[in-house]
Structure 1
Amino acid sequence: MPDLSAFAITHKWPAQHPDRLQLYSLPTPNGVKVSIALEELGLPYEPHLVSFDTNDQTSPEFLSLNPNNKIPAILDPNGPGGHPLALFESGAILLYLADKTGQLIPQDAAARYETIQWVMWQMGGVGPMFGQVGFFNKFAGKDFEDKRPRDRYVAESKRLLGVLNQRLVGRQWVMGDQYTIADIAILPWVRNLIGFYGAGDLVEFSQFTEVQRVLDVFVARPAVAKGLNIPARG
């Protein structure tokens, strides 16, 4: 049985199953990327809720694994060479899990890099822009009288949705027929933008019919439906 006691994070979130991959997360768009991937891959894992309500993400134990104090993070007791591996950043974790299992990413070198390209597109554009729309539409930003900051992020989010919509024309998924980590990276953010953030009308989502088509198929997947609620909120 692996001994994970050297990792301080396990002192706050003890591993009941130290032979399983440990997930430290919250069901946000970034967090559910990893839980969905784990469900799709069928890897044994143990989820731990990192509660923002109690500032768990700034605790010394969490910072010992992720100094950037963001979820998700993982601790894989069976990492490369049989040694434990601690990892943060959702895009890096998705790529690691895909490489670990040889699934959810094309084996052809060119298609592999194209998939990674779309994951980076989400990380660098979709996440930050959609998140800002959420701030200005749902949270404190909605009280700002000056709507220019909000409108700037709305315009960029619409542009990004247009890029994705065009990419999906004639394709089942971002990479064509193969469902990959690119879909798992991007689509939870789309779902959150029009769902939790309530910004569907603001970004005129009804015009992005290809995105809606693929999103509907995505959320109907059993692994996605389960992963969207992991870790369960207290």
Structure 2
Amino acid sequence: MNKTTGEVASLCNVTVRTVQYYDKKGVISPSNTSENNRRLYTEEDINQLRLVLTLKDMNFSLKEIKELLNSNHSINTLNILLSEKLLDLENGIQQQTEQVEQIKFIRENISKESEYPVSNVLNLKNKSKKHQEMKTFRRNFMGISLIVGAFQYSSIITSIMKKKWQPIITAYPFIFIYAAIATKKYYSVVSYLCPNCQQEFKPLFSEWFKSNHTYQTRKLECPHCGVESYCIETHV
């Protein structure tokens, strides 16, 4: 049974203007007309429109859809085109993810009290990648530290169970040596970004070692602007 433009729009959950637009562009046109020149769609036309809408949802352009519908391309051709679309979308998602990370990074490095010019954002533009490198280093560092921590606690438990100090006495020199090497290594790869003036700096070891800190920040005085704040870690 033939359907009018309005009925087709209702069946396909789109607006009348959408159906008319596809008709105007020659993507999908009605097969019949009534005696008073009303445009009528057959069941096959409606299924074609549903196909158009499905392809549109998968990010196909109208030009690509029109070429697919008006050619003898097989389902295998569509599969190849879908693979290309998938790759484009994945690349787009990756790019957007990187943009989101950069925006977050810049926001984290701008203090609400900062009165420095917007041009200071240029100081942060290329440091987002270094911040990600620091995240990777920190994750690997924590993994090794957990292993050493497990070794430390196992020596304590063994000493308690055996009622002997020997396991602790044997283990702790290695633990102290690791702690010293790990601290030196961490300090050597880390620098900090001031959220007030957006400048990068490396504090003195004594200041760095005794300062309060969170997982990704340290409370330090910036040598550029003199403001003390929680500065975000970044890779040197």
- Give the TM interval when normalised to the shorter protein: under 0.3
TM-score in terms of structure 1 length? 0.27
Q: Which has the higher relative contact order, 1 or 2, with Cα contacts under 8 A spaced 6 or more apart? A: 1
TM-score in terms of structure 2 length? 0.27
Select the structure that is richer in helix.
2
